[in-house]
Structure formats: C-alpha cells, structure tokens
Amino acid sequence: MSLFHIIRSPKIAVENPNLLVLLHGYGSNEEDLFSFAQELPDELLIVSARAPYDMGYGGYAWYAINFTDANEKFSDLQQAQLSINKISDFIDELKEKYIPKQVFLLGFSQGAILSYALSLQKPNKVQHVVALSGYLNEELFPSEISKEITTDYYISHGSVDQVIPVTWARKAPETLSNLQLVNEYSEYPVGHGVAPQNFYSFKDWIVERLN
C-alpha cells in the first residue's frame, strides 16, 4: 500500500464492506482520528492513513504550511497536490483489495481540505465526504468541475476555531450548493476540535448512508 495506515476490520462478517478512510490534520498522525473507530458502525471497514511528510516527534503533514516575513500563512500547493494524488492512488488500492460498496472519506482540518479537493478533482471516486474543521481551498479546484459528481458532504466547524476561522468554513456549503452538490452544515461552540455532539451527528449521517 502506498500510504502507511492502520485498519479496523468490520466487527461483523460482511462481503464488500463500506469503507471509511480517515485523513488526520497537520502535525498529527494516523492514531488521532482512529480513536473514533471503536464507536463507529460494526460493518464499516475503517482505514486511517498517515500523511507523507514527517515533521518529527510523531507528527506528519499532508503539505507544508509556511510563513512570510509578515507572519502570513500560505500552503505549499505543490505538496498538497502530490498528497491528493497519493490519497487517490491509496483509495484505488483499497478498492482493488476490498471491493467496497461505497467509500466515505473523513478528514479533519488539513485532511478535510484535501478531502474536498479530491472529491472535486476525481469525480465520484468517493461517495461521501465528512469535512471536519476544514475549508474549501479554491486553489486546489480543478479547472472545470464535473457536473456528474454525486458525492454528498457533511461539514462541521467550531464557532470559536482559532486555527481555521469559521467564516472560511461557512463558504463551503454556499459553494457546494451553487454546484448543485448535496451538503449538510453545522457549527459547534468549540475551537479547533470535534465536540462529542459533533461526533454523534456525523456518526448518524454515516449510518443513514450505509446500505
């Protein structure tokens, strides 16, 4: 497999399981979101991937975040695109091995940004996106967005997020709706993290889409 990862196999025997791929945030690793795994539906095959750029001390990134002399942040878009391609290839490898019914892609922060981008660049490679505490980076949009995309989106954000402003997140449902893409948006009174009620909300959203 092209990305290092950890797996929670379905807890019940199921052919062609629904696949949930987890993409962690900047400076974290594959163990982070995997803490959700035991609480998610038994029939899911859950795969948590590690980002390719080693930051040391057990932290990894999907792409570098750099600072200008004026202390303004900017993303390394070349690294981001390479990671999107790696994630896409990784999903293809998982599909070939497990032949899943559907693919859910769940990303937190940097992982959410790339989940959005991959879903728009690679039409219908994934059926469902859960974007937690991220935003739509239009610099990662394809030159033309396919009108054939049927992927739907669960989006949530902390209303007092100090890392990614909630105003950035609020643009996603508007943009996706303009593209005629189905989406659900919610906010929680937390910072850059996932509140318990947020977890139960996206869990219910996933359960509704299992078949």
**Per-residue pLDDT for 72 more than 80?**
no
The parent domain of residue 182 ranges over: 5-208
Closest CA to 184 of 167, 204, 168: 204
* Mean pLDDT along residues 51-55: 97
Q: How many folded domains does the chain comprise?
A: 1
Closest CA to 106 of 38, 5, 24, 166: 24
The pLDDT-based confidence of 75 (bands split at 50, 70, 90) is: confident
Interval 19-43: pLDDT, tens? 999 999 999 999 999 999 999 999 9
Judge contact between 131 and 112, C-beta under 8 A. Answer: yes
**Per-residue pLDDT for 69 more than 90?**
no
Interval 165-199: pLDDT, tens? 999 999 999 999 999 999 999 999 999 999 999 99
**Helix/strand/coil for 45:** strand
What pLDDT score was predicted for residue 70? 59
Residues 144 and 208: their CA atoms lie apart, in Å, by: 31
Torsion of CA 113, 30, 98, 102, to 10 degrees: -30
Which CATH number belongs to the domain containing residue 103 in this structure? 3.40.50.1820
* Mean pLDDT along residues 116-134: 98
What pLDDT score was predicted for residue 33? 95
Judge contact between 53 and 86, C-beta under 8 A. Answer: no
